[in-house]
Each structure stands twice: as structure tokens, then as C-alpha cells.
Amino acid sequence: MRPAIDGVELAVPAPGRNLPPRAFTSPAVFDAEQRAIFARSWVHVADLVDLPSPGSYVAAKIGRTPVLVLRDRKTGELRAFLNACRHRGAQLLDGKGTCDKQIKCPYHAWSYGHDGALVGVPYREEFDGDIAAMGLVPVRVGTVGPLVFACLDPAAPELAAWVGQLPAALELAGAASWALGYELAYELEANWKLFVENANDGYHIQFVHDLLTDLLAPDSGETTLEAHGAYTVARINPAYVPPERDPGEAKIRFGCIFPNLIPVLSPSDLTYIRVDPVAHDRLRLFVRSYDHPEFANLRELRKLAFERTADQDIAVVERTMRGLHAEGLPPGVHSSRLEERIGHIERLWADAMLREYGPTNKRLLAVAGA
Ligand code: FES
Ligand SMILES: [Fe+2]
């Protein structure tokens, strides 16, 4: 029998075919994705601007898993841990800020060093057995330009392999030194995959987005599929290119680092949208935009344009979510060129789900001694 979750067969969709609607509406599928996708991927958790000095921390999430990222007070290194106390599991830190030499749990005051070691336990003698090794659970952490990623899976590929050509593109643009221009957040009634797919859908632009249709030179996009993502590079309409710049070089790069980061790099800015999964039918968007110093004067204008475009996307994504609740709706299709990245993302999704829940799950076989 083919593996399935809540009636959703775990199989790579045939070319041009989409995942079934229930893959977007099922709470059981959403739960299964937490382990198969979010716990196995490198996920964006913060930016370097959140961790400016020794002791800075950010509380973040990888899917539903709370993590904390910290700049070690002694060594200045970035570290990440599960944001959960080893005593009874209370979340340790909230929001972002600077923490003392020790991270103290607000519940029973266990405390941990910045290396995660357990350093203080009130009434320690009252605990049976050896609890000395009950330090914070470490999480992998790494950076790409101004972005910080973390990964719960010790067996996942290295971050550099995960993010493909993105570091080279950010490096070439010099984006690591750009200033933070604006930050936005949204909450939507839709499954997280729908927003990621919409952001990788080149087909809707001319029907939904007035400004983007104007900005992009028609039919100029070239798409690259990567092991854990996909991106398209398109030319900017010459009318938007300052006269002193070569219009042939004015390009915009957009796509996805699987599972949930949408970085958009243009000559003027790096803007990303992170799609945080909240429930099967709810997501949050976290948006930040960094700008090239020469274009900082256009910041307000860019923000207005982003907000207008985001409102247009949100409307169609929530509309799609409502439609996908229709019982009896067969799986949809996608165009092999204009929606190529959607097909790729759905293949990555199915591969990850099959690795975890399919009949040849190597982890399960290893446990069974096969
Ligand atoms: S849960 Fe943290 S000290 Fe008890
Ligand atoms: Fe869009």
C-alpha cells in the first residue's frame, strides 16, 4: 500500500500535476510536516542585526519548535539551542534582547551558561541520579550574508549546500553591509505552502500585480532549480533603470529556499518574506528589507510598493485556501514554464515526506536493524 497521511497519498506528483487539496487543509498533514520538513531543514530564524553584541539573543521558531539563538558572551560565537528547559520543558527566553551571563528558567530557576551547560539547580541534592549533563539541547546555526539559519537535524546537509547560489548572489551585491530599511508582519488564513507557492508562481503576476507587471521585463525570467530551492532571475524594465546604469545588468532575483524563505534581491534591496507555519490553515509572514545605500532614499516608496503587492498576494492566497476546502475538488495542475518552481517545491515536499514516512525510511530501517 502507498503511504498516506489523512488520505493524502505521499507520492511525487506527476509532471504538471499538483498536490491534492487535502495536503493544504489537513491538520494531520500539517503535524507530519513538522517532523519531516521543518525538523529536517535549515530554516531562517533571525538576522545578524538581531544579534549585534555578546549576550544578544533572539527567541525564534523552526516550524512549531521554539529555539533560541545567542551570541556567546565569552567567545562572540553564534550558538543555538532548543528554547526549552531540561527540567520540565518551560520556554526559557522570549522576544529578543540581551541576556545575563546565565540563562535562568523563569519556572524553577535552573540556569544555563551560554555554552548550554547546566550551571545552577536550586535544591540540587533533592534530585535523584546525575543531572549534570542536562544542558540545553544544541541546534545547528549558520549565516548567509545578513541572514541566520538554524537546523534541528544533525544529519541534514551543511548550510552551504542547502542555500545553493544565494550566498554568492548576496556577496556579489554586497548585501551583508546594507542597512535595515523596514520590517513588516502579516497573519493570514491559509496553509503555509500556499504562500510559498504563490511567491514562486510567475503566472499570476500580470493578472494580480500592477506594479510588478510594470517592473519586470516580459518573458525575461530564467529559472534555476536547486537541491533545496529554486530561483528566477528576470530583467528590470529599462524604464525603471537609472540612466547611468546598464539596463542589461539590472536584474531581480526571486525564489525560495525550501521550505519557507522567499529572498528577493534587486540592485536596490534585499527583501525577504519568511512564511511561518502556525496551523494547517494559518500562517504568519515576517518581512524585512535591506537597502543599498544609493537607494536608501527610495525606502518609503519601496515599502508602499511592497505593501500594495503583498495585499494583492494575500487576497489570492486566502481565496485559494477557501477554494481548496471544497470536498471533492481534484488536484490542480501547473504550467511547466510559468509555474516551474511550484512543481519543484512540491517535489521537494513529497521527497521530504517520503523520506520520513515512506516505506524506505532509512531511519526507521536502521532502528529496526534492517
Ligand atoms: S521548567 Fe525550568 S526550572 Fe523547572
Ligand atoms: Fe504575487
For residue 97, report the distance from its CA to the centre of ligand 1, in Å. 21
Residue whose CB lies within 8 A of the most ligand 1 atoms, among 88, 104, 121, 137, for a mutation test = 88
* Beta carbons of 93 and 68 less than 8 angstroms apart: yes
- Comparing 117-121, 230-234, 244-248, 252-256, the range with the smallest average pLDDT is 244-248
Domain with CATH 2.102.10.10 in the chain: 42-152
Please state the atom number of ligand 1 nearest to the C-alpha of residue 110. Answer: 3
Q: Which residue has the cell 518552481?
A: 341
Long-range contacts of 358-364 (CB under 8 A, 24+ apart): 358/3, 358/10, 359/3
Residue 13: how many other CB atoms lie within 10 Å: 20
**What pLDDT score does 219 carry?**
85
For residue 109, report the distance from its CA to the centre of ligand 1, in Å. 6
Residue 367 has pLDDT above 60, yes or no: no
Identify which ligand lies nearest to the alpha carbon of 205: 2
* String of DSSP letters for 186-223: EEESS-HHHHHHHHT-SSSHHHH-HHHHHHBPTT--EE
Domain with CATH 3.90.380.10 in the chain: 163-346
What pTM did the predictor assign?
A: 0.95
Gap between the Cα atoms of 325 and 318, Å rounded: 11
pLDDT in tens, 274-321: 999 999 999 999 999 999 999 999 999 999 999 999 999 999 999 999
CATH for the stretch 163-346 = 3.90.380.10
N-to-C CA span, the chain: 20
**Among candidates 111, 92, 98, which has minimal Cα distance to 54?**
98
pLDDT in tens, 34-76: 999 999 999 999 999 999 999 999 999 999 999 999 999 999 9
Query: Is the CB–ligand 1 distance for residue 118 below 6 Å?
Result: no
**3-state SS class at 2:** coil
Task: Please tell me the class of the 42-152 domain.
Answer: mainly beta
**What pLDDT score does 361 carry?**
62
Q: Give, using CA atoms, the residue closest to atom 1 of ligand 1.
A: 88
Query: Is the CB–ligand 1 distance for residue 110 below 6 Å?
Result: yes
Gap between the Cα atoms of 193 and 283, Å rounded: 9
Q: Please state the separation of Cα 322 from the chain's center in Å.
A: 24
**3-state SS class at 311:** helix
